[in-house]
């Protein structure tokens, strides 16, 4: 897609810099810092530059090591690290200074003058984010994985004061509907860290596969990792591939990933689903079910399944054992217990469940679900951890200390915040990265939608109906990546990026929304993702054609394009549009004989791909 892109002003400046002139790329940071002021001049990195860190803090040294490792790879040199209690005694020297300025958690400042870079922080995450911003101030060649010649390794002088809007900035990945290996998860976490996203929500159990080793119940992975085949295409196709699908993470692999993430200031929140989405576990240990069926098998297609955990003592013993191992493994304060989409059909038929409802004086199966979650919450709380669950844990009454991950629109999040429970906003479909990000006619199979980049960007995660007091309970945002239709790492990256940039910005940035500013920064930022080899969706440069039914014989056409400064030209007769074709200026009607073909044009040239849409 680089090929198709017009050379922007920023790239012209960058090319000039490559040629050894003084200009550098202007600051284009994603997510946007809270306060950024461009000041006079530039600062150049070279191999004689020292970096002073205030003390022998190993985390800080590792963070500086991330910068050095990029410099070493792309520029062929690294900075000399000097550990000193009082770096400012070297204040007269050219250099990069890391100073603990007692800033709040995750905050940092960058003061860049032609003589020095001062990075102020208050904790390890702050210093790490100063480095992430510094990397984005350098030419995007810094993200290359080979030595880059002819680049001036310089940054623009700036004053940046930055701190996040929310403490919880999350990205989810479902590793059950499809399995993804540890090297890919490390890359996923690297990309999160680049965008200052600090929570990895690791979806580990499902109807279609159990993915985490539990030593006390080896069958969960020996057997439960497998499904015998997978539905091909859409959920309802009725066609299966006949190929077993499996994969799981050993505890050792999970520990390694947790450490890797922690070094990048990402906390991993494991999700173990209760009481629903538990068919893989039940297929291994049928005694955990209501026992209404002779045979249980890991699911081979997507959806919601009625075989759920039966709330009996042996189930609680099993779950307590599982959570014991999970809690041992994961240092996260929050443990995700799922809670979504638990059908009540089995509980309605099960004599044990019905007797339990009576015995406990519960109104119905929803209250039984609430009792189930509350019992597990008590256990998890007794181990010093807190639970978070999807909206449905509100049904039948919220557990006393539970956090809510609001996915069914905003209603659950609003209700929970009004009850003074902390909430993470991950509403479907606005923050669902498994939805189409363009016209379904020209996109790979996805869950629904479309949910365009702009829709995601413009979503405000704090609902206006909340009072100022209630708003404090919205602790952050999360983008959800359900992988029904993402069988490969490449498809995950295509679906997640660049839309995740918009969610990362919602989580981090306090500034008012500014779509034009975002798209300008994003265009530069996509150059960084190109260098990192991220196979993101290129619709940023493509026209989006949408039809709205008017009458049976006519449809209203609307079109849009994300790339800044681009306009759309189109034809209605199936011919290839050129920059001289009619300009799209607003909605218009077409008849069944017409077909829309459109291109995005900037500075007189086509950028991106030609898009078509038939009257259907």
Is residue 99 near Zn ion by the rule CB under 5 A?
no
Is residue 310 near Zn ion by the rule CB under 5 A?
yes
- Report yes or no: 169 and 264 within 8 Å, Cβ to Cβ: no
Stretch of residues binding Zn ion (CB under 5 A), selected from 209-217, 218-226, 287-295, 459-467: 287-295
Let me know if 414 is exposed, middle or buried by CB neighbors in 10 A (0-12, 13-18, 19+): buried
Query: Measured in whole angstroms, how far is the alpha carbon of residue 163 from the centre of its chain?
Result: 19
Tell which one of 128, 318, 407, 497 touches ligand ACM (CB under 6 A).
407
Q: Which is nearer to ligand ACM, 217 or 407 (CB)?
A: 407
The Cα–Cα gap between 493 and 294 comes to 41
The Cα–Cα gap between 183 and 187 comes to 6
Q: Which is nearer to ligand ACM, 253 or 341 (CB)?
A: 341
- Judged by beta carbon distances under 5 to 8 A according to partner kind, the member of ligand ACM, Zn ion, none in contact with residue 320 is none
Question: Which two structure tokens, joined as six digits, stand for 139?
Answer: 């030419």
- Across 278-293, b (16+ Cβ under 10 Å) vs e yields bbbbbbbbeebbbbee
Helices 251-263 and 313-329, packing angle to 10 deg: 50
Stretch of residues binding Zn ion (CB under 5 A), selected from 284-292, 483-491, 504-512, 516-524: 284-292
Residues 6 or more apart whose Cβ sits within 8 Å of residue 472: none
- Judged by beta carbon distances under 5 to 8 A according to partner kind, the member of ligand ACM, Zn ion, none in contact with residue 402 is none
The Cα–Cα gap between 52 and 107 comes to 19
Counting DSSP H helices and E strands in the chain, the numbers are 17, 23
Question: Which two structure tokens, joined as six digits, stand for 590?
Answer: 């077409």
Is residue 290 near Zn ion by the rule CB under 5 A?
yes
3-state secondary structure of 80: strand
Is residue 485 near ligand ACM by the rule CB under 6 A?
no
User: With contacts defined by CB under 6 A, how many residues of the chain interact with ligand ACM?
Assistant: 4
Is residue 390 near ligand ACM by the rule CB under 6 A?
yes
The Cα–Cα gap between 575 and 361 comes to 70
- Find the shortest distance in angstroms from Cβ 346 to Zn ion: 6
Q: Which is nearer to ligand ACM, 169 or 201 (CB)?
A: 201
- Judged by beta carbon distances under 5 to 8 A according to partner kind, the member of Zn ion, ligand ACM, none in contact with residue 407 is ligand ACM
- Judged by beta carbon distances under 5 to 8 A according to partner kind, the member of Zn ion, ligand ACM, none in contact with residue 125 is none
Is residue 282 near Zn ion by the rule CB under 5 A?
no
- Judged by beta carbon distances under 5 to 8 A according to partner kind, the member of ligand ACM, Zn ion, none in contact with residue 350 is Zn ion
Cα atoms in the Cβ-side hemisphere of radius 13 Å centred on 157 = 10
User: With contacts defined by CB under 5 A, how many residues of the chain interact with Zn ion?
Assistant: 5
- Report yes or no: 245 and 209 within 8 Å, Cβ to Cβ: yes
Tell which one of 57, 84, 161, 340 touches ligand ACM (CB under 6 A).
340
- Judged by beta carbon distances under 5 to 8 A according to partner kind, the member of Zn ion, ligand ACM, none in contact with residue 341 is ligand ACM
- Find the shortest distance in angstroms from Cβ 399 to ligand ACM: 17
- Across 344-360, b (16+ Cβ under 10 Å) vs e yields bebbeebeebeebbeee
Residues 6 or more apart whose Cβ sits within 8 Å of residue 389: 336, 337, 338, 339, 340, 373, 402, 403, 404, 405
- Judged by beta carbon distances under 5 to 8 A according to partner kind, the member of Zn ion, ligand ACM, none in contact with residue 220 is none
- Find the shortest distance in angstroms from Cβ 420 to ligand ACM: 23
- Find the shortest distance in angstroms from Cβ 290 to Zn ion: 3
- Find the shortest distance in angstroms from Cβ 398 to ligand ACM: 16
Is residue 368 near Zn ion by the rule CB under 5 A?
no
- Find the shortest distance in angstroms from Cβ 341 to ligand ACM: 5
Is residue 341 near ligand ACM by the rule CB under 6 A?
yes
Is residue 343 near ligand ACM by the rule CB under 6 A?
no
- Judged by beta carbon distances under 5 to 8 A according to partner kind, the member of ligand ACM, Zn ion, none in contact with residue 310 is Zn ion
- Find the shortest distance in angstroms from Cβ 310 to Zn ion: 3
What are the φ/ψ torsions at residue 597 (nearest 5 degrees)? -125, 130
- Residues found near ligand ACM in the complex (CB under 6 A): 340-341, 390, 407
């Amino acid at each position: 897609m680089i090929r198709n892109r017009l050379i922007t002003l920023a790239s012209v400046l960058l090319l000039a810099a490559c040629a050894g002139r003084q200009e550098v790329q202007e600051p284009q940071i994603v997510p946007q810092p809270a306060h950024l002021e461009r000041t006079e001049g530039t600062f150049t990195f070279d191999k004689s530059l020292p970096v002073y860190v205030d003390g022998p803090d190993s985390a800080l040294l590792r963070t500086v090591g991330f910068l050095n490792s990029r410099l070493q790879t792309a520029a062929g040199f690294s900075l000399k690290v000097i550990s000193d209690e009082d770096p400012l005694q070297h204040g007269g020297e050219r250099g990069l200074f890391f100073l603990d300025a007692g800033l709040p958690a995750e905050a940092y400042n960058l003061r860049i003058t032609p003589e020095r870079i001062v990075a102020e922080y208050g904790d390890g995450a702050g210093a790490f984010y100063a480095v992430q911003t510094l990397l984005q101030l350098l030419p995007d060649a810094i993200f290359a994985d080979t030595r880059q010649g002819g680049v001036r390794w310089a940054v623009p002088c700036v004053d940046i004061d930055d701190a996040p809007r929310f403490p919880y900035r999350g990205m989810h990945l479902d590793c059950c509907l499809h399995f993804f290996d540890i090297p890919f998860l490390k890359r996923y976490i690297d990309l999160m860290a680049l965008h200052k996203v600090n929570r990895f929500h690791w979806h580990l159990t499902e109807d279609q596969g159990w993915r985490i080793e539990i030593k006390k119940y080896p069958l969960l992975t020996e057997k439960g990792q497998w499904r015998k085949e997978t539905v091909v295409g859409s959920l309802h196709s009725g066609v299966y591939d006949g190929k077993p699908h499996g994969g799981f993470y050993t505890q050792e692999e999970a520990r390694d990933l947790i450490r890797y993430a922690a070094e990048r200031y990402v906390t991993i929140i494991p999700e173990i689903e209760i009481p629903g989405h538990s068919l893989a576990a039940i297929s291994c240990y049928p005694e955990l079910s209501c026992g209404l069926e002779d045979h249980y098998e890991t699911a081979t297609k997507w959806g919601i399944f009625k075989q759920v955990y039966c709330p009996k003592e042996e189930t609680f013993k099993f779950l307590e054992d599982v959570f014991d191992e999970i809690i041992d493994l994961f240092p996260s304060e929050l443990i995700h217990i799922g809670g979504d989409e638990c059908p009540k059909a089995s509980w309605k038929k099960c004599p044990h469940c019905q007797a339990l409802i009576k015995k406990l004086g519960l109104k119905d199966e929803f209250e039984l679900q609430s009792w189930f979650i509350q019992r597990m919450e008590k256990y998890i709380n007794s181990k010093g951890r807190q639970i978070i669950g999807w909206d449905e844990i509100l049904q039948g009454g919220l557990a006393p200390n539970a956090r809510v991950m609001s996915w069914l629109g905003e209603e659950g999040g609003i209700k929970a915040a009004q009850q003074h429970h902390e909430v993470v906003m991950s509403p479907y479909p606005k923050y669902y990265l498994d939805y189409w990000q363009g016209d379904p006619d020209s996109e790979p199979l996805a869950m629904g939608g479309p949910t365009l980049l702009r829709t995601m960007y413009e979503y405000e995660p704090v609902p206006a109906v909340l009072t100022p007091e209630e708003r404090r309970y919205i602790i952050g945002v999360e983008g959800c990546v359900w992988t029904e239709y993402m069988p490969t790492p490449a498809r995950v990256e295509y679906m997640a990026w660049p839309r995740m940039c918009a969610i990362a910005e919602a989580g981090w940035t306090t500034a008012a929304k500014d779509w034009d500013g975002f798209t300008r920064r994003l265009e530069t930022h996509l150059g960084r993702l190109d260098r990192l080899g991220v196979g993101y969706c290129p619709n940023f440069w493509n026209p989006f054609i949408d039809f709205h039914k008017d009458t049976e014989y006519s449809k209203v056409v609307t079109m849009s394009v994300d790339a800044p400064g681009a306009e759309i030209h189109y034809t209605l007769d199936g011919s290839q549009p050129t920059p001289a074709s009619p300009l799209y200026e607003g909605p218009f009607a077409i008849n069944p004989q017409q077909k829309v073909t459109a291109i995005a044009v900037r500075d007189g040239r086509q950028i991106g791909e030609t898009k078509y849409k038939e009257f259907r």
